[in-house]
Amino acid sequence: MQPGRTWSSGTTRNWRRKLDETYAFMAAIQHSRSTKDVGDALLSFAGKFGTTNILAGIIPPRSASRREQLSHVLLDRWPAEWTNRYFSMGYLYRDPTIRLVAQGSQPFAWRDLGNLGELWPGDRRVMEEAAEFGLREGLTFSFLTVERQRVGLSIAGERLELPPGEQDAFLLVAAYAFGKAVILAEGTEQRQTVNLSPRQHEVLQWASLGLPVEAIADRLGISSHTADSHLRAVRERLGVQNTVHAVAEAFRLGLIA
């Protein structure tokens, strides 16, 4: 949407319908009883894009042993033989996708790796070998947990088709899925109390519909600067860096539905 344009009621209804579909998957994830259930639900959501495999985990320190590296993986729908080779050969520290995740990169397609930074021969080898296991095309997302740990989540398959407009929806579900996986892995429901002002809650509700700051400001009759300030305050209170992750965390905490 171009800056300055307002959203019609029809546009809002379309976004509401898409968000309802997205929230339905998040509700399924909420009722998951194991990380396997979470992975199955996320793979079901991403399957419509051609995804056949998913891997997500917290980026470990470079000094981590193979066992420690594996312990950082929480959602594993990668080919078992490739996972074994990957960690046995120490590919984690030669993987260009991991390097970009550690740098906090925006979501990126594997086909664009050459444009995002220098690829060394070892980097290319990792990606070429991954293709041998059906991981020919992929997308990788980077985000932070509420504990400020860097997370990488990749989806892959022989051929992926994820329209730009669908990336935020997927990132929303992915962030929520990973948070749920962490809770299940630790065996505790880490539920915090977050109090938002009525205006902050209104801004968050509109943001959950996918509206940008300009449209939110128009809906509430406030300036874009004020709307943006409210969103920043919401992100700070939820301990996240971006609005998509804020919506996922708010959904988990029951602040929006």
pLDDT in tens, 122-143: 899 999 999 999 999 999 999 8
Are 60 and 171 part of one and the same domain?
A: yes
Residue that finishes a domain, picked among 169, 186, 203: 186
Residue that finishes a domain, picked among 186, 202, 218: 186
242-247 — which CB contacts under 8 Å span 24+ positions? 242/143, 243/207, 244/168, 244/171, 244/172, 244/175, 245/143, 245/144, 245/171, 245/175, 246/204, 246/207, 247/172, 247/204, 247/207, 247/208
Q: Please, which residues bridge with residue 54 across strands? A: 155
Q: Please, which residues bridge with residue 42 across strands? A: none
Are 180 and 57 part of one and the same domain?
A: yes
Q: Which strands make up the sheet holding 137-144, listed edge to edge?
A: 73-76, 53-58, 150-157, 137-144, 108-109
Rg (CA), the chain: 19
Compute how many other C-beta atoms are within 10 angstroms of the C-beta atom of residue 47: 13
Number of domains in the chain: 2
Residue that finishes a domain, picked among 155, 186, 217: 186
Are 181 and 226 part of one and the same domain?
A: no
| Pairwise CA distance, residues 137 & 164, whole Å | 16
Q: Please, which residues bridge with residue 56 across strands? A: 75, 153
What pLDDT is attached to residue 1? 38
CATH number of the domain where residue 220 is located: 1.10.10.10
Are 101 and 176 part of one and the same domain?
A: yes
| Domain interval for residue 99 | 32-186
**Cβ atoms 12, 5 nearer than 8 A:** no
pLDDT at 200 over 60: yes
Q: Please, which residues bridge with residue 126 across strands? A: none
Compute how many other C-beta atoms are within 10 angstroms of the C-beta atom of residue 157: 20
**Cβ atoms 176, 251 nearer than 8 A:** yes
| Pairwise CA distance, residues 220 & 218, whole Å | 6
| Pairwise CA distance, residues 150 & 5, whole Å | 35
Identify the band that residue 76 occupies on the pLDDT scale cut at 50, 70 and 90: very high
Q: Is residue 25 in a domain?
A: no
**Cβ atoms 127, 78 nearer than 8 A:** no
What pLDDT is attached to residue 10? 57
Q: Is residue 15 in a domain?
A: no
| Pairwise CA distance, residues 127 & 36, whole Å | 26
Q: Is residue 4 in a domain?
A: no
Are 45 and 63 part of one and the same domain?
A: yes
Are 206 and 243 part of one and the same domain?
A: yes
Q: Is residue 21 in a domain?
A: no
What pLDDT is attached to residue 242? 81
Q: Is residue 177 in a domain?
A: yes
Are 81 and 136 part of one and the same domain?
A: yes
Q: Is residue 10 in a domain?
A: no
SS3 assignment, position 155: strand
- Average of per-residue pLDDT values in the chain: 86
Are 137 and 53 part of one and the same domain?
A: yes
Considering only residues 96 and 257, tell me which one the structure prediction assigns the higher pLDDT: 96
Q: Is residue 20 in a domain?
A: no
